[in-house]
Structure 1
Amino acid sequence: MAGLMFYRMIGLDDKVRPLYKKLDKKMFYDFADLNKKEKNFITKYIERIELTYLLTPSTINIQPFINKEFHYEGVMFITIQMREEAKDNHLPVIGEIIQGSLPNPVVVVFEKQGHIQVGTCMKRLNKVDSSKVVLEQLHYTPWFDPESHDEIVVKFIKTIHVTNIPFYNFFEFYKEIDLAVQAFQHTAITGQFHVIKDEEQHEKQQQFIQQITELENEITKWKNKMKKETQFNRKVEYNIKIQQLIKQIEQMKQQLL
């Protein structure tokens, strides 16, 4: 299975005994206020939800991190085996349900047809109710084969190998994985895998990526207009706008390198 191969390749097998504990889908109904559509996603598109690894101070030499904002006492690795009929747009919904239902930091590993997709999300304590958490931005890698020799996949696997992640505390441990997942996610735009740890540089990159995404959406809008347009001169006008936007995106990507 691709998920098991992934865990082996990042060195978890050498550090922690796997649990392979099946989680009842119903528990997510009880912990999360799901609407009918969300419940349908869980029942229809998921074959199995499994707690594969549970990292705690008793199982690995990493200390908890607890303050007024964060409560990181351990890290869970949850494997979700998706059914063939599941679509890519179902995964973010399912990922948010899983992350929102569990207060601990979770590395979600979706598995389907020999490929995996990894999801992470930093969490803060709810200031009104400390028994609940507030989700920050969710990050997802593209689908990939963990045994692939693709340069980006190899760099990602190496970056999150347990021997390369800080063991100071669970916050630093999980944050390192989250940054790597985010870097992999952004390769679709940047074209390269590069983890940025400096907060100022990271924020600058986020702004660039947001601007590029908006420009790409604008290109899609003009392309749709061009398809519907019947007048040749208008088609030419729209195409010029598209080429200008493409050039602008390329210039911005150069600044990310």
Structure 2
Amino acid sequence: MSASTFYREIGLEQKLPSLNKKLDKKIFYDYAVLNKKEKDVITKYIERMELTYLLTPSTINIQPFINDDFHYEGVMYITVRMREEATEKQVAVIEEVIHGALPNPVIIVFHLNEEILVSTCMKRLNKVNQSNVVLIESHRTAWISLHDLENTLIHDFIQSIHLTKVNFSNFFEFYKEIDLAVQAYQHMDIVGSFRVVKDDRKREQQQIVIGKINETEQEIAKLKKAMKKETQFNKKVEYNVKIQQLSNKITELTLELEL
């Protein structure tokens, strides 16, 4: 899926003219505190970076949301075309740099080999210096291909962030709904379906269970690695029993997500 196809599928292309304004990498060198590694990643792995759409009260019927914690006056859609040799590690670095450097909420659309990856991050004002923001938590989809649009889960995700489906009351609610959809996509493999949980209490409970599943999967991976190196048969059996127990635990936790 190309970035332009994505924007068309979510209704942006039909609603607003695209800006396609190139963002010079120097912007981040000058206005963000970057270490050498971050500068190298931006230099080596970004083919082109642009502000594709800018949503403000003057371009779309959505009101700003401003209080002591949040300052959401608009939403930026930034397209980042990555070079072919880029990996998930480089995407993660660029993702954090862009979200951290720009005070407005940003939807980053990474484009690589005809696939796109969508990244969001809720952010709040820094209590000490309100010209800076604090990143609350970033979320990202997996890579999505144009050929997978028939996939029900991908179709449901695209529809959930279509402009006709997102809350237009203010930019905070607008962005939060998109962030929740991206979060739901991120956890799709664990949850077993694309399910946006808008209730804060239920979502918090879901996150606790997902955290336990991730921890258990990491334990299993360590045991499998240790078992592979083990030469004693009885030790291998012990490892295998522990792995099975942890696998059963994951099954039980997954059932909690379906409640």
Q: Under TM normalisation by the shorter chain, which class is it?
A: over 0.9
Q: CA deviation at 1:255?
A: 1.2
Q: Percent identity?
A: 60
What is the distance in 2 between the residues matched to 1:146 and 1:101?
30
AA aligned to 1:199 is D
Q: Distance in 2 between matches of 1:146 and 1:12?
A: 17
Cα distance in 2 for residues equivalent to 1:77 and 1:199: 26
TM-score, with length taken from structure 2: 0.98
**Matched AA of 1:178:** D
Partner of 1:154: 155
Correspondence for 1:194: 195
Aligned length, in residue pairs: 257
- Taking structure 1 as the reference length, the TM-score comes to 0.98
Give 3-state SS (helix, strand or coil) of 1:109's partner.
Answer: strand
Q: Secondary structure at the match of 2:13?
A: helix
- The one-letter amino acid of 1:64's match is P
Runs of 4 or more, structure 1, over 2 Å off, are: none
Q: Which residue does 1:86 correspond to in 2?
A: 86
Does residue 110 of structure 1 match 2:110? yes
Q: Which amino acid aligns with 2:33?
A: D
List alignment gaps of at least 5 residues for structure 2: none
Runs of 5+ unmatched residues, structure 1: none
Please give the alpha-carbon distance, in whole angstroms, between the structure 1 residues aligned to 2:251 and 2:52.
42
Give me the whole-angstrom Cα distance separating, in 2, the residues matched to 1:37 and 1:130: 27
Whole-angstrom CA distance in 1 between matches of 2:114 and 2:127:
41
- Separation in 2, partners of 1:147, 1:7: 16
CA-based RMSD of the aligned residues comes to 0.8
Q: How far apart are the structure 2 equivalents of 1:146 and 1:247?
A: 36
Q: 2:132 aligns to what?
A: 132
Q: Distance in 1 between matches of 2:196 and 2:62?
A: 22
Contact 1:146 1:153 in 2 (8 A): no
Structure 1 position 147, deviation (Å): 5.1
Q: For 2:63 and 2:114, locate their aligned partners in 1 and report how far apart those are by CA, in whole Å.
A: 34
The C-alpha deviation readout for 1:167-209, integer Å capped at 9, x for no partner, is: 0000000000000000000012112100000000000000000
Whether the 8 Å CA contact 1:123–1:133 is kept in 2: the answer is yes
User: How far apart, in 2, do the equivalents of 1:238 and 1:65 lie?
Assistant: 53
